Chains A and B, each alone.
Chain A
Amino acid sequence: MMTLSQPQMEQLSELFRFGASDASQALSLWLGRHANVCIDQLKQLNLEQATESLGPADATLCACVMGVTGGISGQMLFCFDDESGLLLCDLLLGRERVATEWGELETSSAMETANIVGCAYLNSLANAMPSFSSPVPDCEGKVSHVWVPTPPQFVRDFAASILEFAVMNQAAEFDTVLVAQARFQIDDQPVAWSLLLIPDASSLTSIISSTTAPRP
């Protein structure tokens, strides 16, 4: 059983919050509205809790799933129920609640949003945790750190089936899983979208080790 102390959880939460500001900015630009991505907290959950962290296990959930490689590896999921996901598409397309089912346009909109928000979030995190990233110089010689997401894959399935996949790697090593969950607000109103970042077991071990290392 891997159990994190309260100071370790607080230290890790602080790190994961670094990504929220850039993700908010990227989402605001993308939607053309004021958007806020709030990192609720890091959660250390047993397997049962983890598969129900986005609601009832049997609920139908939509997710844009991305693998993460680079400094850390793991899974990132942009999740929403049908109504909230279709609302996102209508917001993007400037329509008044017309989408009622997932067509090609709606699916593409969701995946592109996941891509934009996810990349902004990962880039910020990579720069906040340089010891877990490879430095990459840009054309002006300025060094950035990057974590690389795979292209998103859209799925509509049972919530527990999706989350089971996402926590599988950590579950192979531990009896609890660590999940960083972000929630969203558009024009200061909460919307039922969630962004989950779930590092794999080896990355999680490294990240946790870094929190216990003495600071200079």
Chain B
Amino acid sequence: MTNLVMKDEDLVSMGGIGVRRDEGILRTLLGSCIGVALYERRLRLVGLAHVVMPNSMGRTDALGKYADTAIPETIRQLLKIANVQRLELSAKIAGGANMFANVSPVAKNPMGDQNTEAVESALKKWNIPITARHLGGSAGRRMIVHLPTGMVQIHVVGQTMVEI
């Protein structure tokens, strides 16, 4: 199993944002981070943000990294590639695992839980409904987002891939 990135496929790295129109695949690997897929069915648009931390605390240097800045920045990039003023978005979110409960310094308030809460709060603020979730647990995930359908596949090592 390797990083076989196809011509019509983009790998979204830690703290990154990817956007696509019409067709193709966006993919990311998650642990305690959250993958936020924003889908615009009518315009066949999708954005995928890999959120690392809950709050930017006012930082503006890495917008994809934080829940409160990643959502508006993904929306901004989607508006730009569609060249429209308004989007009707829905969201699917995955990740937020607590992978190493025994060795994590924030085991009492795991980063995965903090990220989940912050992403859900940010999506609510932007009135974006969450249509599917695949969250928590102790394992990492591969999140694969397909265009034009908006279908999201989740792969956990040792398990069958599921669709959400």
Contact = CB atoms under 8 A, between A and B. Distances in A.
Residue with the greatest number of chain A CB neighbours at <10 A, chosen from B65, B140, B158: B140
Interface residues of B, number: 33
Nearest to A149: B103
Contact of B140 (A50, A52, A157): A157
A168 B32 contact: yes
Nearest to B54: A172
Contacts of A200: 105
A60 interface: yes
Contact of A56 (B2, B31, B52): B2
Nearest to A161: B140
A158 B100 contact: no
B3 to A, nearest CB: 4
Contacts of B18: none
B103 A75 contact: yes
Contacts of A65: 100, 103
B100 A153 contact: yes
Task: Determine chain B's interface SS by DSSP, over half rule.
Answer: loop
B31 A161 contact: yes
A73 B105 CA distance: 9
B62 interface: yes
A96 B3 CA distance: 32
Interface residues of A, number: 36
A205 B92 CA distance: 37
Given A47-B13, A164-B14, A158 B157 contact: yes
Nearest to B103: A67
Contact of B102 (A51, A73, A150, A160): A150
A165 B105 contact: no
A204 interface: no
B99 A155 contact: yes
Contact of A48 (B2, B16, B100): B16
B30 A150 contact: no
A47 B1 CA distance: 21
Contact of A158 (B53, B104, B140): B140
B105 A156 contact: no
A51 B100 contact: no
B50 to A, nearest CB: 9
Interface in B26-62: 29-33, 52-53, 61-62
Interface of B: 1-4, 11, 13-16, 29-33, 52-53, 61-62, 65, 97, 99-100, 102-105, 111, 139-142, 157-158
Nearest 6 CB-CB pairs, A to B?
A: A161-B140, A160-B29, A67-B103, A56-B3, A48-B13, A161-B31
Interface of A: 1, 47-48, 50-52, 56-60, 65-67, 73, 75, 150-151, 153, 155-162, 164-165, 167-169, 171-172, 175, 200
27 contacts: A47-B13, A48-B16, A52-B3, A57-B29, A58-B4, A59-B3, A65-B100, A65-B103, A67-B102, A67-B105, A75-B103, A150-B103, A153-B102, A155-B99, A156-B157, A157-B31, A157-B157, A158-B29, A158-B140, A158-B141, A161-B140, A164-B14, A164-B29, A165-B100, A171-B14, A171-B52, A200-B105
